[in-house]
Protein backbone atom coordinates (compact mmCIF):
# COMPACT_ATOMS: atom_id res chain seq x y z
CA UNK A 1 0.00 0.00 0.00
CA UNK A 2 1.25 3.48 -0.91
CA UNK A 3 0.25 6.24 1.51
CA UNK A 4 0.20 9.97 0.81
CA UNK A 5 -0.31 12.92 3.13
CA UNK A 6 -1.30 16.27 1.58
CA UNK A 7 -0.74 19.54 3.43
CA UNK A 8 -2.64 22.59 2.23
CA UNK A 9 -4.68 25.53 3.41
CA UNK A 10 -8.46 25.69 3.32
CA UNK A 11 -9.68 26.84 -0.09
CA UNK A 12 -6.63 25.68 -2.08
CA UNK A 13 -8.14 22.37 -3.11
CA UNK A 14 -6.18 19.90 -0.97
CA UNK A 15 -9.26 17.85 -0.08
CA UNK A 16 -10.36 17.75 -3.72
CA UNK A 17 -6.80 16.87 -4.77
CA UNK A 18 -6.93 13.79 -2.54
CA UNK A 19 -10.22 12.72 -4.12
CA UNK A 20 -8.86 13.31 -7.63
CA UNK A 21 -5.71 11.28 -6.90
CA UNK A 22 -7.85 8.38 -5.68
CA UNK A 23 -10.11 8.69 -8.73
CA UNK A 24 -7.08 8.66 -11.06
CA UNK A 25 -5.61 5.64 -9.26
CA UNK A 26 -8.94 3.88 -9.77
CA UNK A 27 -8.69 4.62 -13.51
CA UNK A 28 -5.24 3.03 -13.39
CA UNK A 29 -6.84 -0.16 -12.04
CA UNK A 30 -5.89 0.38 -8.40
CA UNK A 31 -7.89 0.49 -5.21
CA UNK A 32 -7.80 3.86 -3.47
CA UNK A 33 -9.26 5.82 -0.58
CA UNK A 34 -9.12 9.55 0.17
CA UNK A 35 -10.26 11.61 3.11
CA UNK A 36 -9.47 14.90 4.89
CA UNK A 37 -8.73 15.69 8.51
CA UNK A 38 -9.85 19.03 9.80
CA UNK A 39 -11.82 20.56 12.62
CA UNK A 40 -13.72 23.82 12.55
CA UNK A 41 -11.74 25.00 9.55
CA UNK A 42 -11.93 28.21 7.66
CA UNK A 43 -10.46 29.42 4.39
CA UNK A 44 -6.71 29.71 4.84
CA UNK A 45 -6.38 27.39 7.84
CA UNK A 46 -4.06 24.35 7.55
CA UNK A 47 -5.78 21.20 6.28
CA UNK A 48 -4.38 17.67 5.99
CA UNK A 49 -5.76 15.13 3.52
CA UNK A 50 -4.82 11.51 3.03
CA UNK A 51 -4.74 9.06 0.13
CA UNK A 52 -4.03 5.34 0.10
CA UNK A 53 -3.41 3.43 -3.14
CA UNK A 54 -3.11 -0.34 -3.36
CA UNK A 55 -3.46 -3.29 -5.69
CA UNK A 56 -5.67 -4.91 -3.04
CA UNK A 57 -8.84 -3.65 -1.32
CA UNK A 58 -8.01 -1.13 1.40
CA UNK A 59 -9.39 -1.82 4.85
CA UNK A 60 -7.47 0.83 6.80
CA UNK A 61 -9.34 4.05 7.51
CA UNK A 62 -7.07 5.87 9.96
CA UNK A 63 -4.94 8.93 9.32
CA UNK A 64 -1.67 8.37 7.48
CA UNK A 65 1.07 8.69 10.11
CA UNK A 66 4.01 7.29 8.10
CA UNK A 67 3.48 8.36 4.50
CA UNK A 68 5.46 7.18 1.49
CA UNK A 69 4.94 10.65 0.02
CA UNK A 70 4.18 14.12 1.33
CA UNK A 71 2.57 16.73 -0.93
CA UNK A 72 2.82 20.36 0.19
CA UNK A 73 0.44 22.66 -1.65
CA UNK A 74 1.43 25.73 0.38
CA UNK A 75 4.99 26.02 1.67
CA UNK A 76 3.85 28.42 4.42
CA UNK A 77 2.14 25.45 6.11
CA UNK A 78 5.67 24.24 6.94
CA UNK A 79 5.94 27.14 9.42
CA UNK A 80 2.94 25.83 11.37
CA UNK A 81 3.29 22.05 10.97
CA UNK A 82 6.08 19.51 10.70
CA UNK A 83 4.94 18.27 7.29
CA UNK A 84 7.78 15.73 7.17
CA UNK A 85 6.87 14.04 10.46
CA UNK A 86 6.77 10.29 9.99
CA UNK A 87 7.82 10.41 6.33
CA UNK A 88 9.28 7.01 5.53
CA UNK A 89 12.98 6.76 4.78
CA UNK A 90 13.45 7.65 1.13
CA UNK A 91 9.86 8.93 0.93
CA UNK A 92 9.21 11.48 -1.79
CA UNK A 93 8.22 15.12 -1.33
CA UNK A 94 6.23 17.13 -3.86
CA UNK A 95 6.21 20.82 -3.03
CA UNK A 96 4.63 23.90 -4.55
CA UNK A 97 7.67 26.13 -4.84
CA UNK A 98 10.11 27.72 -7.23
CA UNK A 99 13.02 27.04 -4.86
CA UNK A 100 12.86 23.47 -3.53
CA UNK A 101 14.38 22.79 -0.13
CA UNK A 102 17.00 20.12 0.24
CA UNK A 103 15.69 17.34 2.44
CA UNK A 104 18.40 14.82 3.22
CA UNK A 105 17.41 11.28 2.27
CA UNK A 106 14.27 12.27 0.38
CA UNK A 107 13.75 13.02 -3.31
CA UNK A 108 12.15 16.44 -3.69
CA UNK A 109 9.98 17.27 -6.71
CA UNK A 110 9.29 20.98 -7.10
CA UNK A 111 6.69 22.69 -9.23
CA UNK A 112 5.28 26.22 -9.13
CA UNK A 113 1.62 25.20 -8.82
CA UNK A 114 0.60 28.70 -7.75
CA UNK A 115 2.28 30.27 -10.77
CA UNK A 116 0.66 27.75 -13.09
CA UNK A 117 -2.81 28.36 -11.60
CA UNK A 118 -2.35 32.11 -11.95
CA UNK A 119 -1.10 31.83 -15.55
CA UNK A 120 -4.19 29.89 -16.63
CA UNK A 121 -6.46 32.04 -14.42
CA UNK A 122 -7.51 29.09 -12.26
CA UNK A 123 -8.60 31.24 -9.33
CA UNK A 124 -11.66 31.06 -7.08
CA UNK A 125 -12.53 33.76 -4.55
CA UNK A 126 -9.10 35.30 -5.11
CA UNK A 127 -7.17 32.09 -4.35
CA UNK A 128 -5.24 30.05 -6.92
CA UNK A 129 -6.62 26.51 -7.14
CA UNK A 130 -3.89 23.93 -6.82
CA UNK A 131 -5.76 20.61 -6.88
CA UNK A 132 -5.76 19.97 -10.62
CA UNK A 133 -2.23 21.14 -11.36
CA UNK A 134 -0.82 18.89 -8.64
CA UNK A 135 -2.29 15.86 -10.45
CA UNK A 136 -0.11 16.68 -13.44
CA UNK A 137 2.91 16.83 -11.18
CA UNK A 138 2.08 13.48 -9.57
CA UNK A 139 1.63 11.94 -13.02
CA UNK A 140 5.05 13.28 -14.04
CA UNK A 141 6.74 11.46 -11.15
CA UNK A 142 4.83 8.26 -11.90
CA UNK A 143 2.35 8.01 -9.01
CA UNK A 144 -0.56 7.92 -11.46
CA UNK A 145 -0.67 7.87 -15.23
CA UNK A 146 -1.09 11.11 -17.12
CA UNK A 147 -4.14 9.73 -18.94
CA UNK A 148 -5.80 8.73 -15.65
CA UNK A 149 -5.05 12.13 -14.11
CA UNK A 150 -6.54 14.02 -17.04
CA UNK A 151 -9.56 11.71 -17.13
CA UNK A 152 -10.27 12.24 -13.41
CA UNK A 153 -9.99 16.00 -13.85
CA UNK A 154 -12.24 16.07 -16.93
CA UNK A 155 -14.86 13.95 -15.15
CA UNK A 156 -14.90 16.34 -12.20
CA UNK A 157 -14.51 19.77 -13.80
CA UNK A 158 -15.97 21.06 -17.06
CA UNK A 159 -13.63 24.07 -17.20
CA UNK A 160 -10.76 23.20 -19.60
CA UNK A 161 -8.34 25.37 -17.60
CA UNK A 162 -8.12 22.53 -15.07
CA UNK A 163 -6.77 20.10 -17.68
CA UNK A 164 -4.49 22.83 -19.06
CA UNK A 165 -3.05 23.45 -15.58
CA UNK A 166 -2.40 19.73 -15.06
CA UNK A 167 -0.66 19.40 -18.43
CA UNK A 168 1.51 22.43 -17.65
CA UNK A 169 2.45 21.05 -14.21
CA UNK A 170 3.32 17.73 -15.85
CA UNK A 171 5.81 19.52 -18.07
CA UNK A 172 7.22 21.82 -15.40
CA UNK A 173 7.74 19.41 -12.48
CA UNK A 174 11.40 19.21 -11.53
CA UNK A 175 12.60 15.74 -10.61
10-residue mean pLDDT profile of the chain (175 residues): values are 95 93 98 85 82 97 95 92 94 93 89 97 91 97 98 97 98 90
Number of domains in the chain: 1
Cα 154 vs. chain centroid, distance in angstroms? 17
Residue 147: predicted pLDDT: 98
Domain limits at 135?
2-172
Q: What is the DSSP string of 53-111?
A: EESS-----S--SS-SEEEES-GGGGGTS-TTTTPPTT-EEEEE-SSPPP-TTS-EEEE
Contact yes or no for 52/64 (Cβ under 8 A)? yes
- pLDDT, one tens digit per residue, over 149-161 is 999 999 999 999 9
Q: Model-level pTM greater than 0.85? A: yes
The residues facing 33 across adjacent strands are: 52
Residue 146's Cβ-count burial label (10 Å; 0-12, 13-18, 19+) is middle
Amino acid sequence: MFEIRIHSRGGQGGVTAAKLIAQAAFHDGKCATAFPFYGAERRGAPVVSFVRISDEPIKVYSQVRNPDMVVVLDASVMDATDVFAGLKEGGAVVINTTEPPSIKGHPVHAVDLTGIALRVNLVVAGSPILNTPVLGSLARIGLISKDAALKAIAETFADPRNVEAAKTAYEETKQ
